[in-house]
Amino acid sequence: MQRLFLGLAAASLVLGATACGSSGGSGASASAGDGLTHVKVGVIPIVDVAPVYLGQQKGIYKKYGLDVSMTAAQGGAAVVPGVASGQFQFGFSNTTSLMVAQSNGIQVKAVSNGVATTGVNGQDYGALVVRKGSSLRSAKDLEGRTVAVNTLNNILDTSVRESVRKAGGDPSKVKFVELAFDQMPAALEKGRVDAAMAVEPALTTILDQGGTEIASPYVDVAGDLTVAMYFTSQKYAKQNPRVVEEFQKATAEALAYANGHPGEVRDVVATYTEIPSSVLAKITLPKWPQDISRSSVQILEKLGAQDGLFKTAPDLSQLLP
């Protein structure tokens, strides 16, 4: 918000999605009588994207001449084809998905940071968790076990493998299954999977069920890991440089606002998810730095290559802003 490059296979899901606003396209976005440029943003319904919703709510994007509307998908890989085709002018996707897309010849361009790890083991917004009463105590114990991730062959299983590796285990012996974040709590509780790499708010739901955290994979990858970024297509960026620049500025301001107003973040998450207020009050919020950590992206590139995710080596000089 799916398999290796599910984005291609899931194009029908994204392209069939609807959102208010203009129809858009790869050329200039439509403008109405209000003088605003209307752009669609493909997102995932998780806490990570709270800043764009806050930016819309607080009028930050309008200040920069933009009217944004959001459409939700299951994972970042599913957003890629929508942006590539012009269904969305911008999208939110994890960093690995964007590198996979580029390595498959899809011309994407990161324009803004999206979300980052807290950098604190045991206190991150994403964690490897097991159900109540599980005998699993560390990532090493996952050898021969089944772990749920929202997208196969992507940032989550790559990160989990790094946790297993750092714990002294063999990551090749871990089996991954694909499951949407909101389905992870029930699957874990009923024993359909042995562990799950969950992000908020699914993480808090699992912990409330008595689950236990056994690793912080994002932190194991890098303490300042850029988990996801907002992006556009290379074509759109070339045809609409002013819109891209204004989106960058507005999003940077929205990220800073979210960092400084955690209470409002929790409130806005309730507007685009169905998470109970009791859960929202307890979720661990990620960090929303304005700058992309290039060194962490390089680490993800190395891990992705090690896991065989890329057809050709990603060109970070072309991908990153």
pLDDT tens-digit profile of 164-215? Answer: 999 999 999 999 999 988 899 999 999 999 999 999 889 999 999 999 999 9
- The average confidence (pLDDT) of the chain is 89
The answer to whether 275 and 269 have CB atoms below 8 angstroms apart is yes
pLDDT digits (tens, 9 = 90+) for 21-62: 333 344 445 555 578 999 999 998 889 999 999 999 999 999
Handedness of CA 159, 252, 321, 69 (dihedral sign): positive
Considering the entire predicted model, what is its pTM?
A: 0.86
Query: What pLDDT, on a 0 to 100 scale, did the predictor assign at position 151?
Result: 86
Q: What is the mean pLDDT of residues 104-110?
A: 95
What is the reported pLDDT for 33?
55
Average pLDDT estimate for 138-162: 96
Task: Write the CATH number of the domain with boundaries 6-117+224-319.
Answer: 3.40.190.10
Q: Work out the burial of residue 165: count CB atoms within 10 Å of its CB; fewer than 13 is exposed, 13-18 middle, 19 or more buried.
A: middle
- Domains of the chain, by residue range, sit at 6-117+224-319, 126-221
With a pLDDT cut of 70, the percent of the chain lying above it is 88
Q: List pLDDT tens digits, range 254-304.
A: 999 999 999 999 999 999 988 888 889 999 999 999 999 999 999 999 999
Domains 6-117+224-319 and 126-221 share a fold: yes
Spell 187-208 as b/e; 16+ CB within 10 A means b: bbbeeebbbbbbbbbbbbbbbe
Question: If you search the block for the tokens 């299983």, which residue do you land on?
Answer: 157
Specify the fold of 126-221: D-Maltodextrin-Binding Protein; domain 2 (3.40.190)
Asked if the model's pLDDT at residue 2 lies above 80, the reply is: no
CB atoms within 10 A of CB 171: 21
